[in-house]
Amino acid sequence: MTSQVSKTVLRLEAEDVQALKDGINFKRNPEDGKCYIIYKGKDKIRACVNQCKHQGGLFIEDIEDLDGSTVRCTKHYWKLNVATMEYVNPPDSFMQDELEAVLSDTDGSLELVELNPPDPWTAEPREAQELRAGEITLTYLTHACMELKAGNKRMMFDPWLTGPAFARGWWLLHEPPSDAMDRLSQADLIYISHMLRCPRPLDLRPPHLGAPGTPESGPSRTTGFETTALESFRTT
């Protein structure tokens, strides 16, 4: 597969980010003269190169736009909704290639990052191959935990397999299989989509390796869940 390369094409300092108005903003990189469009929504910033995908025309404000999200091409009057990156005139035509808008948590700056190619899996497409029976299996274990097996590789999702969470406010509704911890310890990849607050760290050591601290215990692996020690609490 073709490697994907990232490049920062525009950087705005914190004061420039704060000066962005809601809706459409046109920006130009003073170093190379290239132009970009930044859309500031309620909870997200989106951005793209100011270039129509049809024949490379420049976008300008659309005087017919009522909600502040559409720009118009100066060549053939194509229209792009920058809030969705979808061309609305003509409809069902193209999607605009989007830049990654990376907002810094430390200094408040904004970087527009170009990924090239944007979809590396389409650069060298492969012919579709039929799956053999049992080649890929997806097994539900409990809560949000599932096991995906593809060939000889095993992936586990969100392995909350024992004990309560959120100060004993959440409990497992379904009892996981008896070998769930063994499956987890043999996983090639563990994907955690969000954090849970557990009363103690979750030890992924297979039962046959012994208890923690014993000579036969072997190496320990933990899930990476955020853990909180609950010394005492009371209800009123």
Q: Is 87:96 a contact under the CB 8 Å cutoff?
A: yes
Q: How many domains does the chain have?
A: 2
In a domain, 229, yes or no: no
In a domain, 126, yes or no: no
In a domain, 164, yes or no: yes
In a domain, 41, yes or no: yes
pLDDT in tens, the chain (236 residues): 567 889 999 999 999 999 999 999 999 999 999 999 999 998 899 999 999 989 999 999 998 888 889 999 999 999 999 999 999 988 888 899 999 999 998 999 999 999 888 777 777 777 888 888 888 999 999 998 999 999 889 999 999 999 888 778 888 988 999 999 999 999 999 998 876 555 444 444 444 434 444 433 333 333 444 433 333 333 33
Boundaries of domain holding 52: 5-120
What pTM value is reported for the model? 0.54
In a domain, 40, yes or no: yes
Q: How many residues does the chain have?
A: 236
DSSP string, the chain: -PPPEEEEEEEE-HHHHHTPPSEEEEEE-TTT--EEEEEE-SS-EEEEES--TTT-PPEEE-TT-SSS-EEEETTT--EEETTTTEEEESTTS-BPPEEEEEE-TTT--EEEEEEESSSHHHHS-----PPPTTSEEEEEEETTEEEEEETTEEEEES---SS-BTTTTB--SSPPPTTHHHHHHT-SEEE--S---BSS--B---GGG-STTSTT-----B----B---------
The first and second tokens of residue 77, run together, are 């009057």
116 and 9 within one domain: yes
In a domain, 62, yes or no: yes
166 and 80 within one domain: no
198 and 157 within one domain: yes
Residue 31: CATH number of its domain: 2.102.10.10
